[in-house]
Amino acid sequence: MATLDEFLRSRRLGILHEALSKDEVRGLLGEPGDVSVKKHPEIWKYGPLQVGFSRRAGGEGTEPSLEWVSLSFVDPEARLPGRLAWEGWMPSGMTTYEEFRAHLADAGIPIVDGVDSGPDRHMALESGVRVTFDEGRLYSISYGTRREPGVTHLKQVAVHIPSSDLEAIRREAATNGVSISALCSRWIGERVAHLQPQ
């Protein structure tokens, strides 16, 4: 059985953990309900759960492995795969920022970074898990690719874009079950990888 607190502390979602191969995930969860067209990363969807596979650094010729997991709380009817049954406290899309923060305090799980005001609040935990809220309600819980060696902290930047572009990004983020911030960060990371000296 999976527990939310285990995921928040360790990034382990019951039987799912980093570095599993696609065949191993398929063996654990069955065939995904949907698979992304894009292959870098390749995203598999199981109801509110999305898993992403990427090749590790220097990984030409290596098989993609599980690098990120996202739980979406947008659709209250969506159900996790049966093998990922939960026990203990499980929030919903109606859970507020304040309620989630109170649970973390009760469970002794510290918040190490985040934004605690405005419509798009988020919390970053020591494990690398990110909890995202939209208009004060829980939107997603996710973790992404591990930080590269030598990266000790992250910086936040603000950009100004047309409203129509923001709406397009918002739709893409919702489709992928991640926050706008997480999606933009992923896109920037992919682009920056091509700018690094070889």
The total of other beta-carbon atoms located within 10 Å of residue 169's CB is 15
Closest CA to 138 of 29, 33, 8, 36: 8
2-11, 90-99, 152-161: least confidently modelled range: 152-161
Q: Rounded to the nearest 5 degrees, what angle is found at the Cα of 102, between the Cα atoms of 99 and 105?
A: 155
* Interval 58-108: pLDDT, tens: 555 578 889 889 999 988 888 888 788 778 888 999 999 999 999 999 999
- In whole angstroms, how far apart are CA 30 and each of 21, 24, 64, 71, 118? 13, 10, 18, 17, 39
Q: What distance lies between CA 77 and its chain's CA centroid?
A: 20
Distance between CA atoms of 135 and 105, rounded to whole angstroms?
22
Choice between 161 and 176, residue whose per-residue pLDDT is larger: 161
Q: What six digits make up the tokens of 143?
A: 């973790």
Long-range contacts of 28-33 (CB under 8 A, 24+ apart): 28/83, 29/81, 29/83, 29/84, 30/81
Q: What is the DSSP letter of 126?
A: T
Question: Which pLDDT value is given to residue 147?
Answer: 43
